[in-house]
Amino acid sequence: MDPYAPALQHKCKRGFFSTVAWGISATAVTGILCATGVGLYGLRIVDHKSDSLLDFAQQTLGNLPEIQKNLPPILADALSDERRPDYISKIKVTGQIASGPDKRGHMRGSIEVTNTGDEVVSMMPLRITLANAGGGALSQRTRVGATPLGVADEDWPGPLMPGATRKMVQRFDIEPGRDSGDANDYKVECEVTDVRIWKPIVKAAAPADSTHDRAE
């Protein structure tokens, strides 16, 4: 063998699957780089806009009293309330199974809410849970026992007046089966998650007529 002969160079050709794998890898790397760039650009925008968004939120909160004054009287009066967690002790809520379960697994629960205090409840969401005899939760629903306004919708029953009792029906669905049991195997548990009390708007006294005072 001639030591000075040029070395032979072997070129390996990629097969079909190797080419496909190489293309997928290149595409994935390109996608990761593009996603990283977009993410960094988004963080930069958020960093520049966060101060302006915070200022806008603070300005909006500061203008809420003025916005409420410009509302129609019926809306402004209805939205005049305050959160009163201490008033929960004046709310009595009971629940029981009214019917079911039927062959389709449908059940109905009956809920009664009574305002035993002397305030008007303007907002009162309830967390209603269907539980088995052992206390295990099977299904949960959220209902509103009182709203600022009453309209022709079960989700807007209206305020709960002092001494008033409100009845509601809640449907539950469980898996149907031969071992579903009867109504005695279930119970309805209710939780008051928030209470807001209506506050009458106090109108400012009309200013005295200075012209009449000077004339006298």
Q: In Å, what is the CA distance from 216 to each residue of 26, 106, 149, 212?
A: 94, 78, 48, 6
For 50-70, b where at least 16 C-beta lie within 10 A, e where not — what string? eeeeeeeeeeeeeeeeeeeee
- Half-sphere exposure at residue 74, Cβ-oriented, CA atoms within 13 angstroms: 2
Question: Residue 105 and residue 102: Cα distance in Å, rounded?
Answer: 5
Domain ranges for the chain: 16-70, 81-198
Contacts with 167 (C-beta within 8 Å, 6 or more apart), sequence order = 110, 111, 112, 113
pLDDT (0 to 100) of residue 167: 94
- Per-residue pLDDT of the chain (216 residues), as tens digits, is 555 544 444 445 555 555 655 666 666 666 666 666 666 666 665 555 555 555 655 555 455 566 656 666 666 666 778 999 999 999 999 999 988 788 787 888 999 999 999 999 999 999 999 998 888 888 899 999 999 888 877 788 999 999 999 999 999 887 776 567 777 888 999 999 999 999 887 665 555 555 555 555
Pick the CATH number of 81-198 from 3.40.50.720, 1.10.150.120, 2.60.40.10, 3.90.550.10: 2.60.40.10
Q: What is the pTM of this model?
A: 0.59
Q: For residues 157 and 203, what is the distance between their CA atoms, to the nearest angstrom? A: 28
